Structure 1
Amino acid sequence: MNAQVETPVEARAVTPRRHPFPTLLRREYWEHRGGFLWAPVIAGGVSLLLTMIFAVVASVMARKAVAEGELEIDGVTINGLDLSLITSQMSAHDLQQLGDAFDASLLMASSWPFIVMAFVVFFYCLGALYDDRKDRSVLFWKSLPVSDRDTVLSKVVSAALVAPLLATAAALATMVLFAVIVSVLVVMHGGNAFQLVWASGGPFRMAAFVVAAIPVYAVWALPTIGWLLLCSAWAKGKPFLWAIVVPVLLGVFVWWFEVMGYFGLQADWFWQNVVARMLLSVVPAGWMDAVNLHGIDAPGDLRDVLNLRTLYSTFLSPKMWIGAVAGALMIAIAVRLRRWREEI
């Protein structure tokens, strides 16, 4: 007689159930790694290549101007490209202006990955829920134990956080290499690279700013992300045209019939706060329209505008949160549409 021994409940091996959301994020990354990662990296590389070409051309032209006695600064003819001699005769105000000019050029050089990211995020959201219906792979994904909510939210997080994080990493690498290139040029012409490039803290300040801007971008971009996902989930064809035509026609209707006049507003308000928010919120620094510049005498000064206090003042703007709520509602509708729309 064989006796069966029951395993106590406490001794049974319990396999913890893993949440599928991290797997969904990895899936989005691997399927779109070219746009999320390599496109910003290549854009940063192109920016650095153009910087080196410009540096070589500018150096050759400056040497030619020196040789011909045509290089003047404040009416003084320069006989050589000795930066240490030139900077020693500059006032503290002039050196600060030189540092601001370097900060501006640093920001421009590192903006290329973000510009490319805006296009990547725009078209990624447009195809996020449309492409799998087009190739019928949606049937396979629906057969897995993954909810439509998690699937859509993984695409939202990929567009709002993953893509900006990777673009920021590419921008930071571009910043560092740009500063190194400028440092080499300064040393080659007898200047003090630490004083002119690094001592002002420009590279570190700009790096901290672009990292701190990620959560601001994530919230600000929600209206466009939500609208594009809604079009991607709803459209039976050509989601790009639907995404563009509907807001534009709505803006034309409001302008033509002067609808905003009933609220004491101009049609420009509708174009800026509705149409632009639906289509252009994924553009980096679009939130600058909502920053609190109160108390800033010269808003064009990078040191005044590009700081954490000004950056996070956008969270005090009603425009930020109204757009975020509208984006969340459109994302919720996109989830509902995905539950029953499986064909194009």
Structure 2
Amino acid sequence: MLSQNFSMHLRREYWESRNWLLGLPLLLVTFISLAIILLTQISDHIQTTVSESPFSSENQGIVLNFGDGAQPLDETKTEQPESEDDDINVHFKFDGHDNLSGLSMLELFINFGWIGALCYLSTSLYSDRKDASILFWKSLPVSDTEQVLSKFFFAVISFPLVSLFIGWLFLATLLVLDATYYAANDLDLVRSLGDNNWLLTYLITPLTGYCLGFVKGIPVLAFTMLVSAIAKRLPYLWLIIPLLASALAEQIIADSYFVVSWFITHFPIIESEVFERLTANYGGFLFHHFARNAVDFVINISLGALIIFACIWLRKHRFEI
């Protein structure tokens, strides 16, 4: 049973990892902001270039000289079709939509948070063995079980949810800009919150997607932590090289990729289709999803628990670098 010191371990993980925790989603915010600025500048350039085009109606009737027998260009054949307006509306497409969907942005932040969690877990039990700080913690009356569980739950809870929270703030900022500057320039970069299901779309659906990703990805998350408990150096290579070796061996022996496919399908990252179905039919999708995958969920949780138990055992008995 966990003691009251478990919260102390979580605070310790935060102070040691706050740069990762906040830096990764802020890096994504910077990238999206630069992309929006670039697209805005491109759209302004397109509008300016078209408005100053030499092929406007006042420049028609030009004589084209290709040789001695050249004739003036017939003006009746060069008339341009009249348009109702001279403005050109530039629309950007993301994920097949006419503009940047707020749900797609939140989905991107959640999945980016899961990538951060995987990166953190791959070094969580390796870093304190490398710098020998594990000897300090073993000199204290601190449970190895609590240390391992605090690292695991800190990664799977903090990274995706903090990234999602920053995504909410960034989406709110874009909506404010969309209602002022972008609307004045005929640019609709973010979908409006005018529908009646905005609470379901932008709050409940992302949180549900996070929970589904957690249940689906427990084995991969726990295995990544196990690699950090085993690796002697470069834990990323200890994670990638066995997968590549197993894929090569499977291809040669059985002409299949079962191991690699299993890892890919059990990554905590959730597809866009899941978010769209949750928004369209929340209760019905969850019922059919859990009914169809109930056995897989039980297997995932059981396998994840066994792998975490192995991490705890290694922490107690095989912690030398």
Which range, TM-score by smaller chain?
0.7 to 0.9
8 Å Cα contact 2:113/2:161 also seen in 1: no
1:123 Cα offset (Å): 2.1
Q: Residue 200 of structure 1 is aligned with which of 182, 195, 198? A: 195
1:169 Cα offset (Å): 0.4
- The answer on 1:227 being equivalent to 2:204 is no
8 Å Cα contact 2:124/2:225 also seen in 1: yes
Residue type of the partner of 1:281?
F
1:331 Cα offset (Å): 0.8
Residue type of the partner of 2:241?
V
Task: Show CA shifts across 1:181-221 (max 9, x none).
Answer: 33324531479x8xx72323686523432123222222222
1:82 Cα offset (Å): 9.2
1:107 Cα offset (Å): 4.1
Gaps of at least 5 residues in structure 2 are: 57-80
Residue type of the partner of 2:194?
A
Q: Residue 85 of structure 2 is aligned with which of 79, 82, 89? A: 79
- The answer on 1:61 being equivalent to 2:46 is yes
8 Å Cα contact 2:218/2:304 also seen in 1: yes
Cα pair distance change 1:78/1:125, threshold 3 Å: farther
- The answer on 1:174 being equivalent to 2:170 is yes
Task: Show CA shifts across 1:23-70 (max 9, x none).
Answer: 111111111011112321232133123213312321341354356589
Give the TM-score of the pair, scaled to structure 1.
Answer: 0.70
Equivalent residues in 2 for 1:313-328 (5 A)? 313-316=288-291, 317=293, 318-328=295-305
8 Å Cα contact 2:25/2:112 also seen in 1: yes
- Count of aligned residue pairs for this structure pair: 286
1:136 Cα offset (Å): 0.7
CA distance in 1, matches of 2:151, 2:163: 17
Partner of 1:281: 267
8 Å Cα contact 1:127/1:232 also seen in 2: yes
- The answer on 1:49 being equivalent to 2:41 is no
Task: Show CA shifts across 1:107-162 (max 9, x none).
Answer: 45445544543442222111111111111100111122221111111111112111
Equivalent residues in 2 for 1:124-203 (5 A)? 124-185=120-181, 187-189=183-185, 197-200=192-195
CA distance in 2, matches of 1:327, 1:60: 53
Give the % identical residues. 23
8 Å Cα contact 1:315/1:321 also seen in 2: no
Residue type of the partner of 2:314?
L
Cα pair distance change 1:315/1:20, threshold 3 Å: farther
8 Å Cα contact 1:110/1:174 also seen in 2: no
CA distance in 2, matches of 1:287, 1:320: 20
- Larger deviation: 178-187 or 150-159? 178-187
CA distance in 2, matches of 1:77, 1:202: 38
- The answer on 1:40 being equivalent to 2:25 is yes
Partner of 1:261: none
Partner of 2:244: 248
Cα pair distance change 1:323/1:65, threshold 3 Å: farther
